[in-house]
Amino acid sequence: DTEVTQTPKHLVMGMTNKKSLKCEQHMGHRAMYWYKQKAKKPPELMFVYSYEKLSINESVPSRFSPECPNSSLLNLHLHALQPEDSALYLCASSRGQADGEKLFFGSGTQLSVL
């Protein structure tokens, strides 16, 4: 199994809603990542978890709250988002967080905030 699975594929939410994005991998990878990709732009790193501990937070607003319940799962909890948060949210994993560990990406969740 070489897949990173993200659910849901599409999500529409209002600015007062609370929702969660989910990501799962069964490759035994110990590093997991959230990236945000706006339309026609490159992906930008949001968070990195290594061995289930948050190791990088790229100054992301607190309305985005990551969680790594175990080594296979990564969640992104969303609350009080703004329309400008609409984007493709990509999850990735790698064997470890050392330099050169290849990232494997999921297909993403396309989020629209109304």
Pairing of strands 18-25, 4-7: antiparallel
Query: Would you give the binding string for another protein spanning residues 7-26, x where CB under 8 A is met?
Result: --------------------
Distance CA 29, CA 93 (A): 6
Largest CA distance in the chain: 40
> Which residues make Cβ contacts (< 8 Å) with residue 80, sequence separation at least 6?
15, 16, 63
- The nearer residue to another protein, 17 or 107, going by C-beta atoms, is 107
> Which one among 18, 41, 54, 77 touches another protein, defined by CB under 8 A?
41
31 binds another protein (CB under 8 A): yes
4 binds another protein (CB under 8 A): yes
55 binds another protein (CB under 8 A): yes
Express the helix, strand and coil content of the chain in percent, nearest 5 each: 5, 55, 40
Distance CA 66, CA 108 (A): 16
> Which one among 1, 100, 113, 114 touches another protein, defined by CB under 8 A?
100
User: How many chain residues touch another protein (CB under 8 A)?
Assistant: 29
Give the residues lining the site for another protein (CB under 8 A): 4, 6, 31, 40-45, 48, 55-56, 90, 92, 94, 96-108, 110
